[in-house]
Structure 1
Amino acid sequence: MTVPPDDGFSLAAEFPEPAHEQWQRLVAGVLHRSGQDVPGANAEDALGTDLEDGLRVRPLYTAHDTAPDPGLPGFAPFVRGGRPEGNTVGGWDVRQRHAAADADAVLSDLENGVTSLWLVIGAHGIPPASLGDVLARVHLDLAPVVLDAGADTDAAARALLRLYAERGVAEDAARGSLGADPLGFEARTGERGLAFGPVAALASLCAGEYPGLRALTVDALPYHEAGGSAAQELGCSLATGVAYLRELTGAGLSVEQAAAQLEFRYAATTDQFLTTAKLRAARRLWARVAEVCGAPGGQLQHAVTSPVMMSRRDPWVNMLRTAVATLAAGVGGADAVTVLPFDHALGRPDAFARRIARNTSTILVEESHLSRVIDPAGGSWYVERLTDELAHAGWEFFQRIEGLGGQAAALRTGWLGRSLSGTWAARAARLARRREPVTGVSEFPDLAERPVAREPAPPAPSGGLPRVRRDEAFEELRARSDGHLASTGARPRIFLAALGPPAAHTARLAFASNLFQAGGIEPVTEGAFEDSGATEVCLCSSDAVYEESAADAAGRLRAAGATHVFLAGRPGPRPPADTHVYAGCDAVSVLRATLDRMGVS
């Protein structure tokens, strides 16, 4: 390619150089026209978005938004990736999760793009005795295996090591992780059933004889699934990793050997930039821990698309959620990515769901060429700044845990559970008010949707920290509606009374219809109230029409038998209604009370 000489000609020469203050004044003007009088200097803040952990995202980032030097890919502090080449050599490790003893499913995944296996072993998954059958047709020198066995860790690990020996797999050819995670097991179950002595013995064995195997997993998913924020997830992973370093070095391993036995697991969510920043911040924080301990600072990362975000209603939307989360994990530099199938929340995934899950990574790597760029987010003022702020928030939470005596003490005193619960309570309030919308659940639900049926999956471990879902409050409401439909042949109904011309009522009619369907309540918009089969009604129109005719309409409807009158719009100087529904109202409370009045149990 011939590069033209630099003749000093600038395409922007005829335009004045824009200033940040000029943009702020323009923003202030737009806000003024929308009824908000905000001075220019504060206009930018008015457009900011609050995140958890005290973080706030601004609408504009410039070169003046400084962050520490992220270094180079593959070098400390590893913000830009754990390897110099990033994921440019073959993409990330596509790791499929299996919790059922299905050798055909395992083989199908490996033949169609999956590069490693994540096997759930024990009472909540594959029986340890079935491990050989599940892996009977797997080339163990080619496919890394990661175990997740809880209390059966030692038995499952020994069984896998026996398989390596029986199949003639060289010790230096074995790849993967034995998955021991005593603190993660305790967080899940509330039990201290996984003694560290056998875990340390496995770590010593791996360090001495199996250089490609790691013995321990630092799993942050229990804290994410209990409602924790990104910073809390980071802080818990650091505290757990430090606890394992202490135990392993106390058992005789060097700090370098101990650090090499750890793999870290994080959740990837639909908050694309926050997920990318979290993975980058995690590597930076662990590099700091390793620096203090005198160990190499790299962090092997396994990202899993978040179970918390997976909806049971309209589960097809989960394909889009996991695609965004996988993109975020890949951009964030994850070494391995597990895409949970879209029907994960419904039971045992079928072949189609597993195919879509593995193809999500394949499309991003092979068709979107995401892995051809080392650290795609590097240099983004927004991502670099968010990474730095999240790293500070995560380090602060880690220090609080260490101040309590470490991760085990934080778990056993209940402090950690209370902290995660408080975070989830705040988020649940946003979900209830639909400030955090869930498509197909709290927004745009489809009451005519045919349910997706799956075989029951093995029960998940329980007894420790709770498992939460974004859809849980609305799922409870929809389940009540389903029960009413099954017992009576009809769903609970509400009549939507449109007042005035379409231009006046269309917007609020659509809003009310969407709102009530989120609770499993069927809106009726045609015909007369007396013929609708409803006992409650919602008036829908503009403020001007309400002033003119809402009082008369409400009176006529009450006379016709309406027991409760809603009005779509914020409370104000309007004719009296029993309840107002509006954007930002507590939709869950309104819908729950409505079902109670309707006798829907």
Structure 2
Amino acid sequence: MKVPLDGSRPDAVFPSVTRERWRELALGVLRKSGVETGSPEEALASITYDGVTIAPLYDASDLPGDPGLPGSAPYIRGSRPEGGGWDVRQRHEVADPEAVLADLENGVTSLWLALEPEDLPRVLERVYLELISVTLDAGGRTREAAGVLFELAERKGSGALAGNLGADALADPETAIELARLCAENFPDLRAITVDGTPYHDEGGSDAEELGCSVAAGVAALRTLTGAGLTVEEAFGQLEFRYAATADQFLTIAKLRAARRLWARVAEVCGSDAGQRQHAVTSSAMMTARDPWVNMLRTTLACFAAGTGGADAVTVQPFDARLGLPDAFARRIARNTQALLMEEAGVARVIDPAGGSWYVERLTEDLAEKAWEWFQEIERAGGMAAARESGLVADRLAATWKRRAANIARRRDPITGVSEFPNIGERRPSRAPRPGEVTGVHYAQEFEALRDLADAQEIRPTVFLATIGPVAAYTARASFAANLFQSGGIATVTGGHGVDPDRIAADFIAAGGGAVVCLCSSDRLYGEHAGAVAAALRRAGAQKVWLAGRKGEFAGVDADLYAGCDALGVLRTTFDDLGVTR
């Protein structure tokens, strides 16, 4: 906004805006759209999987309170008092020294090694351990991997080590205690324990559920370490938290800010002012195997949100992660995504760039409250270990995944390139298989399974779209129907382009016929011609007749498909009708 040349304040030139005035205008627009409501806030609000209301409008009255300063409790605005960017951490699952060096030479500042202990010396032989941080991910062989790293550092003369040894205090408390003591006594920049929230996200859980589980796991780790004789400050200093970053940028920003607020409260109760160190990883659940190039967009949004949310380290998964081991190009895109955001977009130049946003501040607080309620429920159940053993955590995550899966099936949670705008003629790149078992859910998995089934047929399943009337009358619904059927790998053929039932039936026969057709037109033309066209198509051999839209009942029409319908149900029924064995 430009300041007036006469020196007067902008708010003296422009009329003041009030919430009431906005409500009046919003109600007018809603009524014109056919929505009768007395509350535009209620009509336009949405609800997250945690029950948090996302309002259509926020103002200063929504601010929850003073968030503090960056680098000080409650750390909502960041764990550090200064900016300067985050740690660019790249994950490696195979022992490839050249790939590791290529990453380090081109912007990566930290390594995340999911390798066997015996592979570490070869991978790290030409790496200057005193210049980077290393995070280990060796599962049940964490003690061995840590020992190899210590020996390697001593042999290379690297007295200082930084990073995380990746111990799991819940799965193996003895190893966690042993390594935590070593780090506390000898390596001030090396942490022993990773509190990983991503498995809860990968099972379909919500943001607050991931947060609550991670805080409960963190508290369990604190109890383990302090019970073994470490001081409170030493115990806090041994933990690093890992969270999933998704393409829902505002929820990711709020989640990371809320996580620091939650952990600051735990520290306060323990008599400490320790902050939370965070490692954000772009979500595995959101990645797709179909149209994998779209993953670049998803991970860019997620990385932006992670950096904006104040993560200390960020890992961007390569776009081909669902296809197998990433190639050199995919790894380059992953690291360059972070470089572009930091160096060219300037995301790292501002501390807590989302701070002060009425929306983000309110969302942060609401998410923290929901997560704290879940954390307290876990604590009442006896803590994280007991809650997992009893099935409390698994049942909660399964219930959320069931709700999420229902929304995905109805395309209320659209997946670009899969459930929306699919490319059934795509040629996907080929990748070598990844080592180990892939766990967790993928949001696109049900649609992708149907695509795989369609691709496996000698002749691709096809539905005939019978368009009625002029182009302007049928285009929108024909495009909608084609998009829906193609999301399951079912091809569509269009014919008709008129109102003569016999002409439409002739087009159907010329296109090769088939068992399934879908009528596409306007509500008015459906009323005049749908019944006759359906009858003509049935005489020509059609066995199932769909109608694109949701308007009344017509003779000869079996069912309709519309925005918000069970798209997966439509696709599975269509496979059955076409004789494709599932």
1:459 Cα deviation (Å)? 2.0
Counterparts of 2:200 and 2:357 in 1: how far apart (Å)? 29
Spell out the pairing of 1:74-85 with structure 2 (5 A cutoff): 74-85=71-82
Whether 1:477 aligns to 2:444 is: no
Distance 1:453 1:570, change over 3 A: same
Partner SS for 1:108: helix
Counterparts of 1:129 and 1:212 in 2: how far apart (Å)? 24
Counterparts of 1:156 and 1:494 in 2: how far apart (Å)? 55
Contact 2:138 2:166 in 1 (8 A): yes
1:565 Cα deviation (Å)? 0.4
1:143 Cα deviation (Å)? 1.4
Contact 1:116 1:145 in 2 (8 A): yes
Contact 1:259 1:296 in 2 (8 A): no
Whether 1:56 aligns to 2:56 is: no
2:278 maps to which residue?
A: 301
1:573 Cα deviation (Å)? 4.1
Spell out the pairing of 1:579-598 with structure 2 (5 A cutoff): 579-598=559-578
Could you tell me which amino acid in structure 2 is paired with residue 492 of structure 1? P
1:598 Cα deviation (Å)? 1.4
Partner SS for 2:382: coil
1:93 maps to which residue?
A: 87
2:132 maps to which residue?
A: 143
Normalising by the residue count of structure 1, what TM-score does the alignment of the two structures yield?
0.93
Partner SS for 1:555: helix
2:185 maps to which residue?
A: 208
Counterparts of 1:366 and 1:70 in 2: how far apart (Å)? 28
Partner SS for 2:572: helix
Larger displacement relative to structure 2 (335-344 or 64-73): 64-73
1:416 maps to which residue?
A: 393
2:175 maps to which residue?
A: 198
Whether 1:176 aligns to 2:163 is: yes
Structure 2 stretches lacking a partner, 5+ long: 496-505
Contact 1:216 1:262 in 2 (8 A): yes
1:521 maps to which residue?
A: 490
Counterparts of 1:337 and 1:323 in 2: how far apart (Å)? 12
Q: 2:520 aligns with which of 540, 562, 577?
A: 540
1:381 maps to which residue?
A: 358
Whether 1:492 aligns to 2:461 is: yes
1:476 Cα deviation (Å)? 1.2
Partner SS for 2:148: helix
Contact 2:280 2:314 in 1 (8 A): yes
Q: 2:99 aligns with which of 86, 90, 105?
A: 105
Q: Deviations over 1:84-104 (max 9, x none)?
A: 00xx22x11000000001010
Q: Deviations over 1:416-475 (max 9, x none)?
A: 11100000100100100000110000000011100221000012365xxxx111101101
Contact 2:196 2:243 in 1 (8 A): yes
Counterparts of 2:15 and 2:232 in 1: how far apart (Å)? 58
Counterparts of 1:409 and 1:530 in 2: how far apart (Å)? 64
Q: 2:152 aligns with which of 148, 163, 171?
A: 163
Counterparts of 1:9 and 1:414 in 2: how far apart (Å)? 64
1:186 maps to which residue?
A: none
Distance 1:525 1:393, change over 3 A: same
1:9 Cα deviation (Å)? 1.7
Whether 1:504 aligns to 2:484 is: no
Q: 2:539 aligns with which of 551, 559, 578?
A: 559
Counterparts of 1:104 and 1:270 in 2: how far apart (Å)? 31
Q: 1:577 aligns with which of 548, 554, 557?
A: 557
Whether 1:259 aligns to 2:239 is: no
Counterparts of 2:172 and 2:352 in 1: how far apart (Å)? 39
Whether 1:390 aligns to 2:384 is: no
Partner SS for 2:299: helix
Size of the aligned set, in residue pairs, is 569
Contact 2:516 2:577 in 1 (8 A): no
1:599 Cα deviation (Å)? 2.0
Contact 1:546 1:575 in 2 (8 A): no
Whether 1:31 aligns to 2:33 is: no
Spell out the pairing of 1:65-464 with structure 2 (5 A cutoff): 65-85=62-82, 88-89=83-84, 91-120=85-114, 126-170=115-159, 173-183=160-170, 194-460=171-437
Distance 1:14 1:82, change over 3 A: closer
Q: Deviations over 1:299-322 (max 9, x none)?
A: 000000000110110000000000
Could you tell me which amino acid in structure 2 is paired with residue 28 of structure 1? L
1:66 Cα deviation (Å)? 2.4
1:20 Cα deviation (Å)? 1.1
Report the RMSD for the aligned CA atoms in angstroms.
1.6
Q: Deviations over 1:49-83 (max 9, x none)?
A: 11111111111111111212100000000000001
Normalising by the residue count of structure 2, what TM-score does the alignment of the two structures yield?
0.96
Partner SS for 2:436: coil
1:130 Cα deviation (Å)? 1.2
Counterparts of 1:182 and 1:495 in 2: how far apart (Å)? 58
Could you tell me which amino acid in structure 2 is paired with residue 93 of structure 1? D
Q: Deviations over 1:486-541 (max 9, x none)?
A: xx2x2000000000011110100000000000011000014821132332100000
Could you tell me which amino acid in structure 2 is paired with residue 306 of structure 1? S
Partner SS for 1:29: helix
1:402 Cα deviation (Å)? 0.4
Q: 1:531 aligns with which of 504, 507, 510?
A: 510
Could you tell me which amino acid in structure 2 is paired with residue 22 of structure 1? R
Could you tell me which amino acid in structure 2 is paired with residue 279 of structure 1? L
Contact 2:420 2:484 in 1 (8 A): yes
Counterparts of 1:143 and 1:460 in 2: how far apart (Å)? 29
1:18 Cα deviation (Å)? 2.3
Q: Deviations over 1:266-312 (max 9, x none)?
A: 00001100000000000010000011012232000000000011011
Contact 1:330 1:370 in 2 (8 A): yes
Counterparts of 1:305 and 1:135 in 2: how far apart (Å)? 25
Partner SS for 1:377: coil
Partner SS for 1:497: strand
Distance 1:14 1:5, change over 3 A: closer
Could you tell me which amino acid in structure 2 is paired with residue 531 of structure 1? A
Partner SS for 1:316: helix
Counterparts of 1:577 and 1:512 in 2: how far apart (Å)? 15
Contact 1:438 1:471 in 2 (8 A): yes
1:7 Cα deviation (Å)? 7.2
1:576 Cα deviation (Å)? 4.4
Partner SS for 1:528: helix
1:251 Cα deviation (Å)? 0.8
Partner SS for 2:302: helix
Contact 2:535 2:556 in 1 (8 A): no
Could you tell me which amino acid in structure 2 is paired with residue 10 of structure 1? R
Q: Deviations over 1:378-399 (max 9, x none)?
A: 1000000000000000000000
Contact 2:169 2:221 in 1 (8 A): no
Counterparts of 1:250 and 1:300 in 2: how far apart (Å)? 22
Contact 2:521 2:548 in 1 (8 A): yes
Contact 2:258 2:367 in 1 (8 A): yes
Could you tell me which amino acid in structure 2 is paired with residue 118 of structure 1? W
